[in-house]
Each structure stands twice: as structure tokens, then as C-alpha cells.
Amino acid sequence: MTALSAAAAQALDALDPLAPIRELFELPDDVIFMDANSVGPMPKAARGKAKGLLDDWVNLRRRGWSQRQWLEMPSLLGDCIAPLIGAGPGEVVMCDSTTLNQFKAVSHALTLRPERRTLLTQNGNFPTDVHVLQGIAAASEGRLSLRFVDSEDEAVAAMDAEVAVAALSHVDYRSGGRWDMGRVTAAAHAKGVLTVWDVSHSAGAVPVDVRGADADFAVGCGYKYLCAGPGGPAFIYVKRGLGDEVWPALAGWMGHADVYAFARDYAPHGGVKKFLTGTPLVGADELASAMLDVWPKVDPAKLWAKHKSLTDFLIAALKQECGSLGVVVNSPGDHGRRGGNVSFSSPGAGSVVEALIDAGVVSSFRQPDAIRFGVSPLVIRHADCWEAVARLKRVLAETIWRQPKYAKVSV
């Protein structure tokens, strides 16, 4: 293989069909944000949305409910991101947090499998996903318990008639390793197990196909690769027709079959809308609505192809430039098994991440020695990957990270 270079990066960027999309974002000069796994980039439209909301607050107030789309926004945003997870119109809503949506999905699955007593999840799952299950089990006063697995093969083997629901992350938030959603879901269904997938680290970066995989539920964060903004709404998907008549564990007026009838007694809306709870978080939704200017212009297949090209390039550059300095790539070599971020081990990883911030590269550290570069194909170019690796190389080669000011590591 020919050696990678800045020129090779630029040549790849010149062929990028999504290059114009970058222009839709407000990006600071000379800072490379490799942290879309935490907070994705800001669409330029967000500033106008924020100002418009403040004007509406002053001028419209309650008339905003009728003159603006405040109440429809959870569905509009859900329809906007549905193609990125392989869902159709009306199958996704954006609302609440991932934690809450996980609770709603898992509780619903349990209602549909009342005779079963086991909740299956990963040891390495994101803490909040596990905590939700532990909370549900604690509230069951001993009826329900958790079963943990470490690998996809173990998960497949662990499906049995005791398991009600497998609540799994599609992508490991530390290593960036991606599971085969179709394979695990098929194994689950063969034993009557329902699946809840957390696609926070795949949606908006790599292929997700909830319908193709026949997933029962999916949830995920809006503020990562989907660019809903800090604190932006999460999303929830439910397979069409699954337990349509069944009440959600968290019944609220926005999930009522006829919201504006103001009926005393609850009746669940069909489909995913019953997972809406209370009044939409209008402020967060307004910032998130800047996505409506972006995602309809993006062909998901091109987005995923660009993520493959960027992360293949990044991994090769990390090995070529920083391998001799102790960097070891943890992310899978096969893009089909890779999530949104590229993860690698490095000497002094926490301090390296701090030093990289001063060098104009924003990334994140995870114990014990992993650095994550979260790659948003909407804005990151091959040239950015090359430059980020060049700055990392300098931090390592010149042992800049050993300076006392980088000893304190932030999360």
C-alpha cells in the first residue's frame, strides 16, 4: 500500500459527493472536532431557530402552539431521521432522553412478555442502559433479574424462553465495535425474545436498518451524530403493530389516541406516538429543527460510504504515523463491524486528550487508556483526519502530554 499523505487526503476529499453538506454547518477555524460521539456539529440554521424561538416567546406565547409546529415537532424530527435508521414515516418520534426512551421500550417489551423473568444485556453496555434495567428489576421486587453477556456469540447463545427482552447497544461506546443487529435479533426471535437496540453510536454515521433487522424497538441520542444540539431530544422506534393496543408504562397526555379531547381516561395512540409523554421540550426541539435543513439533503448510503472512507483512512494514518509511538487501534478493521468512533490506545491517553485540545483537536478519553475520535461524515474531511493524526503525532513525539498542566484529565 502506498504511504498516506496530506495530498492523498485532499485527493479523496476532491471526490466527496457530500462535500457541499459541510457548508451547512457553522465550524470554528482551525479546530477539528472529533467528538460527534458526544455532541455533533451545529447546523448554521440553529442560530436563526434560537432567535426565532425567543421572538415567538415574546410575541406569540400561547399562540405559538397553533401558529408554530411546537406540538408536531417530535413527529417531524422523527420522520426526518427515520431513513438513517432504516425506518419509515410515522415510525419514529424524537422526545425525552435516551434513558427515558429505554425505560419506555423495555417496560413495553416486558408487558408483552409477562411470563418471562430475565433481562439480557451487555456487561460493557453504556451505564444508563444497564441502570434502567436494574431499576426495573429492583421495582419488580425480585421477579425480574439481569443476565449479562460479553460478546455477540454469547448473546446469541444466551437467548432462551426465560428471557423477555434483550436490551443491547448496537455499538460499544468505548471500542466502537458494532454488533450484527439482524443476526442477534433473529436469534432472539427464535426464542420469543423481544429486542431493544440503543443505536446512539451508529445512527447518523454508519448503517442502521431496524426494519431489515426486524428489530422490535430502537432508541438513541439526538445530540450525537444526528446534530440535535446539546441536550437535544432522543428518539424511539417501535416495529409497526407491535403491541399496538397495549398501554405504555409511562402513559401521558401526548401519547393519548385523541390528545385534544382532554378525556379523563387514557387510551393509547397507535404506533410509536403512544411513547410521547408530556408537552414537547420546545426549546430543545427548536434547536434540533435545524436538522430539517440538513438530513433531507443527505443520501444515507453516501453518508455511510463516506464514514467508511474516512475511518479506513484515519485508522491507516494512525498506524502509519503513530504506531511506532505506542498507538494501537482498538476499532475493528472491518467497517461492517465499526461504529461512529475510531478508538485507539495510547501512552498517557487521558493527558494526550487534554494536550490535543490545546493543539486544536477535540476528542475524548475513556478509562483505562482509550482515545475516541468520533467521526461525523457531515463535516469531517480526509484532510481533517490527516491533520488530527499529525497533531497527535506531535503531542506524542515531543512528549507534550507529559507537561504538568495536562495531568488533570476531564471526562
Shortest distance, position 179 Cβ to ligand PLP, whole Å: 12
Q: Which is nearer to ligand PLP, 234 or 400 (CB)?
A: 234
Return the bridge partners of 167, or none. 196
In the bound state with ligand PLP, the residue whose beta carbon lies nearer, of 126 and 295, is 126
| Number of CB atoms found within 10 A of residue 354's CB | 21
Which is the catalytic residue, given 49, 104, 178, 224? 224
Is position 372 annotated as part of the catalytic site? yes
Q: Which residues of 24-50 are buried (b: 16+ CB within 10 A; e: fewer)?
A: bbeeeeeebbbbbbbbbbbbebbeebe
Positions 99 through 138 that interact with ligand PLP (CB under 6 A): 99, 126, 128-129
Site for ligand PLP in 202-231 (CB under 6 A): 221
**Residue 218 C-beta: closest distance to ligand PLP, Å:** 12
Taking the C-alpha atoms of residue 374 and residue 372, their distance in angstroms, rounded to an integer, is 6
Which member of 16, 198, 216, 387 binds ligand PLP (CB under 6 A)? 198
Half-sphere exposure of residue 297: CA atoms within 13 angstroms, side-chain side? 15
Query: Applying CB under 6 A, does 200 fall inside the site for ligand PLP?
Result: yes
Q: Residue 69 Cβ, how far from ligand PLP at the closest point, in Å?
A: 23
> Which residue lies nearer to ligand PLP by CB, 33 or 386?
33
Please tell me which residue in 79, 198, 216, 384 is annotated as part of the active site: 198
CA distance 321 to 174: 22
Restricted to residues 149-178, the positions that interact with ligand PLP (CB under 6 A) are: 169, 173
Q: Is 227 helix (H, G, I), strand (E, B) or coil?
A: coil
Binding of ligand PLP by 277 (CB under 6 A):
no
Active site residue 25: no
User: Is the separation of the CB atoms in 144 and 110 below 8 Å?
Assistant: yes
* Nearest-approach distance from CB 256 to ligand PLP, in angstroms: 24
Cα→Cα distances 37→5, 154, 194, 350, Å:
26, 26, 27, 17
Residue 38's φ and ψ, nearest 5 degrees, are -115, -65
Catalytic residue among 178, 372, 381, 391: 372
Q: Which one of 33, 103, 217, 223 is the catalytic residue?
A: 223
Q: Which is nearer to ligand PLP, 82 or 218 (CB)?
A: 218
Name the minimum Å distance from CB 341 to ligand PLP.
10
Closest by CA position to 167, among listed 143, 206, 136, 209: 136
Q: Which of 25, 33, 103, 126 is catalytic?
A: 126
Provide the 10 A C-beta neighbour count for residue 204. Answer: 32
Please, are residues 109 and 165 in contact by the beta-carbon 8 Å criterion?
Answer: yes
CA distance 47 to 337: 36
Minimum CB distance to ligand PLP smaller for 218 or for 314: 218
Has 274 been annotated as catalytic?
Answer: no
Q: Which is nearer to ligand PLP, 342 or 396 (CB)?
A: 342
CA distance between the termini of the chain: 37
- Rounded distance, CA 315 to CA 79, Å? 33
Taking the complex as a whole, how short is the minimal distance between the CB of residue 169 and ligand PLP, in angstroms?
A: 5
Least distance in Å: CB of 40 to ligand PLP? 12
| DSSP alpha helix (H) spans, 140-272 | 152-158, 181-190, 210-213
Q: What is the footprint of ligand PLP within residues 82-101 (CB under 6 A)?
A: 97-99
Q: Which residues contribute to the site for ligand PLP (CB under 6 A)?
A: 97-99, 126, 128-129, 169, 173, 198, 200-201, 221, 234
- Which residues are tagged catalytic? 126, 198, 223-224, 372
